């Protein structure tokens, strides 16, 4: 017994982190966990953080949302760069992925 309350012969090895791509809720013994690359989900699709209106695509609506908050300095929902402000950089990030269809 390794002290986790499960007999060693009954252990199920696997990833116990529910944020990992290979999470196994039956795991009783820690195994290797795999995580998606930054900006992607577990199946390799882009996260589309720039899809501000959550319609499944980076489109004119997202650009307009950034423009409508341009100059925002507090609690900015269109701050796609994460720097706390909505400035030119945010517009450029959205334009760089304009037309992407999110999955």
User: In what helix (H) or strand (E) does residue 63 lie, and over which residues does it extend?
Assistant: helix 60-68
Please name the residues in contact with 60: beta carbons below 8 A apart, sequence gap of 6 or more: none
DSSP letter assigned to residue 23: B
93 closest CA partner among 61, 51, 54, 55: 51
Give pLDDT tens digits along the chain (103 positions): 566 666 666 678 899 999 999 999 999 888 899 999 877 889 887 778 899 998 989 999 999 999 999 999 999 999 999 999 999 999 999 999 999 998 7
Are residues 86 and 69 in contact, defined by beta-carbon separation less than 8 angstroms?
Answer: yes
Q: What is the pTM of this model?
A: 0.61
Q: Which domains does the chain have, with CATH numbers?
A: 1-35 (no CATH), 44-103 (1.10.1330.10)
């Amino acid at each position: 017994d390794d002290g986790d309350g499960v007999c060693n012969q009954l252990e199920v090895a696997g990833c116990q982190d529910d944020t990992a791509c290979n999470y196994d809720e039956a795991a009783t013994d820690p195994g290797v966990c795999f995580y998606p690359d930054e900006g992607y989900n577990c199946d390799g699709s882009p996260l589309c953080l720039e899809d501000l209106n959550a319609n499944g695509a980076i489109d004119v609506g997202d650009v307009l949302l950034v423009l409508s908050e341009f100059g925002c300095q507090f609690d900015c929902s269109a701050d796609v760069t994460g720097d706390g402000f909505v400035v030119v950089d945010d517009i450029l990030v959205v334009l760089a992925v304009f037309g992407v269809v999110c999955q």
